[in-house]
Structures are given as structure tokens and as C-alpha cells.
Amino acid sequence: MHKSLLLASLVLAGSLLLLFPRQQLAAQEDGVFSTQIFLTDAHLDPNENNQVIRAFVPTRSSSRNCLATLNDTNTVAVGTVTFCALRVDQSLGGVSGVLVSVFFPQPPSPGLTLSVTVHQDGARRYGLPVLCTEANGC
């Protein structure tokens, strides 16, 4: 009985593998993908007591639909809040992209590392995150 159950499971798994790669490929061809960005204390805004990250990620998309999810970090703080928003960075020649903001309840310890999964509808690519300030239009 165990052999027939194992065989049925393998057949089902093989069938699923044949179906799903086509769907994933189609999604990537349509420009629907996300990426992981890596942030450090270099992205902390000194004008906000070094407890707010504002990182601009150039995508060349003007969609307001975005998502940002916190991943791994070396600084865990209960009450950390994150969001994303469409922005245009004037210091990069008016390039559109997504602003990732992370609000810590207190300044994080030195040597902060944080990874964030970012998605913006219509993103053609995800550039390197840069500190976003009022001076560059963020």
C-alpha cells in the first residue's frame, strides 16, 4: 500500500512540475516580478533621528501599486512599520520608482542590515536603493 501511495504522489508531483513552470514564465514575461533589496544604516535618514529608512529604488514604473515586506535583519524591534510609494527622483534625472520607508520605534543599533522584498507593478528592473531625501524629490 505504501508503494502505491508513493507512486501516486510522484506522478502527481511530476504532473504539477510540468504545469507550473509555464505559468511562472508567463508572469515574468508580463513584467510581474519582485526583488529583494538590501538596506543598511547608510539608508537611515539623519534628518529623522536616524530611525527612519527612506530608500528609493529606480524601476522606471509609474504605477502606484507596490508592496514591501520586511525579511531578515540583525535588528529586531517590535513596532517597526514599513510601506512603499511611487516617487520620482529628480537627482537621477526624473527616474520613477518605488520609495521604501521603514520606521523604527527607536534608532537601530549600529551596523544595521535589513532585507526587504519589493514589488511594483510595471517595474522593468530594480536598481540599487539610494537614500531618499527631500533634496532629491522623495
Higher pLDDT, 134 or 42: 42
Query: Residues 58, 97: one domain?
Result: yes
pLDDT tens digits for range 36-57: 999 999 999 999 999 999 999 9
Cell of 122: 510595471
**Spatial distance between the Cα atoms of 116 and 67, rounded to a whole number of angstroms:** 10
- Are 53 and 45 a contacting pair, CB within 8 Å? yes
Q: What percent of the chain has pLDDT over 90?
A: 59
Query: Residues 125, 58: one domain?
Result: yes
Higher pLDDT, 8 or 63: 63
Residue with cell 513584467: 31
How many domains does the chain fold into?
2
Query: Residues 23, 56: one domain?
Result: no
- What's the CATH code of the domain at 95? 2.60.40
Query: Residues 99, 43: one domain?
Result: yes
Residue 121 pLDDT exceeds 80: yes
Kindly report the number of other CB atoms within 10 A of residue 85's CB atom: 13
Residue 83 pLDDT exceeds 80: yes
Nearest one of 79, 113, 116 to 100, comparing CA atoms: 116
pLDDT tens digits for range 108-117: 989 999 999 9
Domain enclosing residue 62, as ranges = 34-136
Terminal-to-terminal C-alpha distance of the chain: 63
pLDDT of residue 92: 78
Query: Residues 42, 25: one domain?
Result: no
Q: How confident is the model at residue 133 (pLDDT cuts 50, 70, 90)?
A: confident
**Spatial distance between the Cα atoms of 36 and 47, rounded to a whole number of angstroms:** 26
Per the prediction, the chain carries an average pLDDT of 80
